[in-house]
Structure 1
Amino acid sequence: MARISPSILAADLTELAREVIRVRDADYLHIDVMDGMFVPNITFGVPIMEALGRLHHPPLDVHLMIEDPSRYVKEYAALGAKNLHVHVEGNYHLHRLLGQIRETGSRAFVVLNPSTPVSLLDEVLSCADGVLVMTVNPGYTGQEFIPEAAKKIDVLDRIRTERDLKFEIAVDGGVSLDNAQDLVNRGADILIMGAAVFRSENPSVVVRKIKELKR
């Protein structure tokens, strides 16, 4: 069964503790860390991670959309990141970076932007715990889902079967109740959802509804 990772980028940050409580039954809590250089937005960093450390929350699923993420791998792992997502784009020593993440005890996910082909991952799939397929261009929540990007899920699912690899497939961007079932059918293991959860009237109901759909 696939898992749900609500993204607090879409949450009401003036009520962060309340928002986290509302999705306490989710499988993960997704944190988008952006530095304004790798992507055109600035979001969360260490202070938010420290604040979350004082709350009861699902395991943290942290997406590092920053330049030279190797500088912060140990810090975010120490702050409780269960999964650390880093991009293939711009990270020239990706094999070493994934190794750094796994050495901390966190799980290493590699991220593909919508325009990036799966073929760029050929040499690192065997040392990744997962692949995150972006179905929007990263930077902002609430963007329109890009159907063509979702086709990468099919390709990745076929590759892991043919090569007997165990990596998981996550998908992020425009994921909703309307397309969740299709994404799971394609092979997605983790559904990262922002607006569909936190901007609904009752996020906990949305999480429960998706779990029912997956079953």
Structure 2
Amino acid sequence: MTANARCCINPSILSADFVNLQAELDRISTADAVHVDVMDNHFVPNLTIGLPVVERIAQVSPVPLDVHLMIADVDRWAPSYADAGVHSVTFHVEASNAPIKLARELRARGSKAGMALRPATPVEPYLDMLDELDMLLIMTVEPGFGGQSFLDVTLPKIRRARAAIEGSGASVAIQVDGGITAETITRAAEAGASIFVAGSAVYGAADPAQAIEALRAKGQLALG
């Protein structure tokens, strides 16, 4: 792992109370960002929120928005999320026909560019485009639903991605999403991830701020 890597905790509002979303955002004000899952019931078998809600969240959130697009036709829709003023937009490479073009467009519109891979999608075909990205999201569950268990089968992919990033000299963070708990965050961090999406581990806790701090401490310890 790169020296002085900082552990970031991005709670997912997929586990929040959508009726009281502004209050739920305030409960995670100590997080590094809020992870906003956008699902269209096409790319994944679930339906969540769209652009108008994301725009409103961006206006009231106490922390930056980390938007994860699990949608079809992402080349068409992703730039609008960058225009909404969010900190980062992550698209699934499986849904993009032109990932390099899309990553460049997101950056040109003022957002950081993230690219996500499903658990079974290999990272190797995309290593040549690392310089086009700010973040690589390696899904540690099948995308679509919260509350799933961490897939250890993804750990070797995280390690290979980290080795390739360090070998290339690219400045790309590795994010993991799915099944992150006080126990699994250590394994994921040791493999090379530094940004962790946690849903139920934060919002299912009596004190979300305390849960965030505990996860951050465990992850940072593993990062060294």
TM range (shorter): over 0.9
Structure 1 equivalent of residue 179 of structure 2 = 174
Unpaired runs of 5+ in structure 2?
1-5
Tell me how far apart the structure 1 counterparts of residues 217 and 43 of structure 2 sit (CA, whole Å).
Answer: 36
Q: Percent identity?
A: 35
CA distance in 2, matches of 1:56, 1:35: 23
Does residue 133 of the first structure (1) align with residue 131 of the second (2)? no
Is it true that 1:89 corresponds to 2:94 in the alignment?
A: yes
Give the C-alpha shift of residue 90 in structure 1: 2.9
Matched, 1:206 2:211: yes
Could you tell me how far apart the structure 2 residues matched to 1:104 and 1:53 are?
16
Query: For residue 144 of structure 2, what is the amino acid of its counterpart?
Result: G
Among candidates 157, 160, 166, match of residue 155 of structure 1: 160
Structure-2-length-normalised TM-score: 0.91
Structure 1 gaps of 5+ residues are none
Q: Name 2:125's counterpart in structure 1.
A: 120
Distance 1:143 1:103, change over 3 A: same
Deviations 1:152-173 (A, max 9, x none): 1111111111121111100000
- What is the total number of aligned residue pairs between the two structures? 215
Counterpart contact for 2:74–2:95, Cα < 8 Å = no
Per-residue CA distance 1:17-65 (angstroms, 9 max, x = gap): 1111110010010000011101111101123213313424210000111
TM-score (normalizing by structure 1): 0.95
- Contact 1:73–1:100, Cα closer than 8 Å, also in 2: no
Q: Which has a greater percent of helix? A: 2
* 1:80 counterpart SS class: coil
Alignment root-mean-square deviation, CA = 1.3
| Distance across 2 between alignment mates of 1:55 and 1:106 | 18
For 1:122 and 1:212, the matched residues in 2 are separated by 30
Corresponding residue number in structure 2 for 1:60:
65
Q: 1:77 to 1:133 in 2, by over 3 A?
A: same
Distance apart, 1:185 and its partner CA: 1.9
Shift of 1:71: 2.0
Q: Is the 8 A contact 2:58 2:86 kept in 1?
A: no
Distance in 2, matches of 1:69 and 1:59, equals 21
Q: Is the CA contact (8 Å cut-off) linking 1:70 and 1:100 kept in structure 2?
A: no
Name the CA shift for 1:56/1:95 in 2 (closer, same or farther; >3 Å). closer
In the TM superposition, residue 73 of structure 1 has moved relative to its aligned partner by 2.7
- Matches of 1:51 and 1:91 in 2, distance apart? 26
| Matched residue SS, 2:179 | coil
SS at match of 1:41: coil
| Mapped partners of 1:52, 1:95: distance in 2 | 28
